[in-house]
Amino acid sequence: MREPRHAVPAVDFQGVGRTYGGGRTGLGEVVAVDHADLKIAPGEFVCVLGPSGCGKSTLLNMVAGLDAPSKGRVLFEGAEVKGVNTKVGYMPQESKLFPWLTAEKNIEFPLRARNVPGTERKQLVSAYLAKVGLKGFENAYPHQLSGGMQKRTSLARTLVYRPSLLLMDEPFSALDSQTKMVMHEELLQLWEQEKCTTLFITHDLVEAITLADRVVVMTRRPSRIAEIVDIPLSRPRDVYAIYEQAGFDEIYDHLLRLVKKEMRYE
Ligand SMILES: Nc1ncnc2c1ncn2[C@@H]1O[C@H](COP(=O)(O)OP(=O)(O)OP(=O)(O)O)[C@@H](O)[C@H]1O
Ligand SMILES: [Mg+2]
């Protein structure tokens, strides 16, 4: 953790549970999240691992205020999330750029929605285009960009209004392993610069170790937190040499054991 323990957590899941269906919905009841207690410190990078369907996206949706807990509370910077939380940057699992807007206009979109004045908008868009290495592609439409460039545009669109919390739901899962490493490097650089608390969902153990201060491993549904694993690797991290870092193998084996256990469906 990078902040003193007494700081108000950026995110605080207090006895959170989320059940879907039942009642008049005609669907059987699904306990997605049974119980989650988790405090995330300001500036911390936390990754969440867990089997498909265990409620990882549900947890992010509750922080973003797009979903609400059935029990317990979700606090953002000390206040209970009620309704859409406009202070967070959210890259949802099915994050899509607007196909009819250029890279530049996509990045500008959230600033327009917030009525940021024109000159400031221009400066911010230009700065964030540069930060994610997209100078020269301002006027390209999403279909003219590679998968990695589309993710970069998406990341710039999420960061441009400088949210204090970044929620990322498997943002790089569709990318090839080299592009993924480039994205990791860029994301970590941005995170160091912006000091943005980050909650990042992944199924990729190496990605979690590369990025996180702590990794939260969820059980299968009805899910609970199986274990929270500290990643004590030094920073700044060399994403291309992460396997060579002392301690990597032990952390990887430990995470793999935890994840494997939760993958068995009996
Ligand atoms: N709006 C909804 N209505 C009904 N059930 C839902 C809804 N959203 C999620 N669920 C159910 O809650 C459970 C958790 O879903 P969630 O999308 O959070 O899983 P996940 O851990 O993100 O999975 P994955 O790794 O596949 O993305 C699933 O069983 C899903 O069917
Ligand atoms: Mg999901």
Please give the angle made by the CA atoms of 95, 91 and 35, to the nearest 5 degrees: 115
- φ, ψ for residue 211, nearest 5 deg: -95, -40
* Structural domains in the chain (count): 1
Please report the pLDDT score of residue 215 as a whole number: 98
Whether residue 110 is contained in a domain is answered as: yes
Cα dihedral 159, 164, 167, 172 sign: positive
The domain spanning residue 209 has which CATH number? 3.40.50.300
Whether residue 5 is contained in a domain is answered as: no
Residues 3-26 have a mean pLDDT of 83
Distance CA 259, CA 266 (A): 15
pLDDT digits (tens, 9 = 90+) for 182-203: 989 999 999 998 889 999 999 9
Distance CA 85, CA 209 (A): 28
Tell me what the pLDDT averaged over the chain comes to: 92
Please report the pLDDT score of residue 265 as a whole number: 54
Strands 197-201, 88-91: pairing is unpaired
Whether residue 95 is contained in a domain is answered as: yes
Integer-rounded Cα Rg, in Å, for the chain is 19
Whether residue 33 is contained in a domain is answered as: no
CA of 57 to the centre of ligand 1 (A): 7
Please report the pLDDT score of residue 266 as a whole number: 43
Whether residue 115 is contained in a domain is answered as: yes
Distance CA 81, CA 194 (A): 23
User: Given the CA of residue 93, which atom of ligand 1 is nearest to it?
Assistant: 27
Whether residue 113 is contained in a domain is answered as: yes
CA of 56 to the centre of ligand 2 (A): 5
Distance CA 109, CA 216 (A): 33
Nearest by Cα to 30 from 252, 221, 244, 248: 221
From the CB of 22, is ligand 1 less than 6 Å away?
Answer: no
Please report the pLDDT score of residue 2 as a whole number: 53
Beta bridge partners of 215: 47, 229
Range of the domain at 130: 46-65+85-263
Q: Whose CA is nearest to atom 18 of ligand 1?
A: 55
pLDDT digits (tens, 9 = 90+) for 205-232: 999 999 999 999 999 999 999 999 999 9
Which of 13, 19, 20, 221 best tests ligand 1's pocket when mutated (most atoms within 8 Å of CB)?
20
Residues 76-99 have a mean pLDDT of 91
